Structure 1
């Protein structure tokens, strides 16, 4: 199975909801290089429904001239975990997309096993929590912004399944963002 690698933008207090607040910090080129390494190591994309619905209208309109990540996001096979989206709707929303149906660890494992490279996940907090709880998460890349939001959905809210992670690598960028790369213990 290709590993499932997650990339999240979070504040110091763990908020990941609507990361438009990250814009004030700019996008450090080294951070872009690190995210590019994640996507280049991946053969497919896995998203929760809400993230899929946010990404599809934005990424489907971008070209390589707009953003060097556009070919990965548009050309890669994409699967959305959703009990409300079917294959036809997913493909009609964003090419190369299909629905895996409601969350099912076996179905996700089968999807990941169908690729020799990794599977990339961004956002999709509910999905990420489930992947971690079910031992399906290969690596977690947190890009931690030097900001306390105070409110908003947290990646790991109260009541999340306890998990122990091992720090594998870290970077500090000139814009104050930390990249923390974890794997499950």
Structure 2
């Protein structure tokens, strides 16, 4: 079954909105490799409409310009791009299509398609939340920036129950950005203060 990965730029206080306003000073070669590894290596992109619109407004022109980011722009252009939207859309960026039917049913079927490549997401937080809740998101790649933004949409909304995650890897970049990769934790630890206090330093007396 195909794996779905989601990558997000996120501030230390959990904000994921408008990263173009605060994350560029931290974008170095390490982050570029991380983004290319998660997003640029996939043959299928699953994107919310707002994220798709921002990509489609920028990357085709960057590909044509032939500058330093043209190779990455070509990778995005060549990938199959599936857009989650309730509206009918007119696509001008090649290899773009609208997700048909119910999100959960359609993504479940997409994961079962024969392919050795991941399905990658970028941004698209409302879709990420729904796929996490449905247990369909395999990896959550968070690029945590050492900055508090103070305002804007955060990754996680208020909910009645917690969402346990398991840390798969952690890499610290020279800029102070930490690349964290999580998956849902089906075997999350349990306990209370009585079990935790045994791990406090004990007196020798």
Instruction: Tell me the residue number matched to 2:105.
Output: 106
1:32-181 alignment runs, 5 A limit? 32-63=32-63, 65-67=67-69, 68-86=71-89, 89=90, 91-92=91-92, 94-101=93-100, 103-114=102-113, 115-159=115-159, 162-181=162-181
TM-score, normalising length: structure 1: 0.90
CA RMSD of aligned residues (A): 1.7
Question: Which 4+ stretches in 1 moved above 3 angstroms?
Answer: none
Shift of 1:112: 3.0
More strand by share: 1
* Larger Rg, first or second structure (1 or 2): 2
1: CA distance, partners of 2:171 / 2:160: 26
TM-score, normalising length: structure 2: 0.82
2: CA distance, partners of 1:40 / 1:57: 18
Shift of 1:103: 4.9
Distance 1:163 1:62, change over 3 A: same
Q: Tell me the SS of whatever aligns to 1:69.
A: helix
1: CA distance, partners of 2:8 / 2:75: 17
> Which one is further off, 1-10 or 105-114?
105-114
Alpha carbons 1:48, 1:80 under 8 Å: kept: yes
Q: Give the aligned length.
A: 180
Alpha carbons 1:3, 1:138 under 8 Å: kept: yes
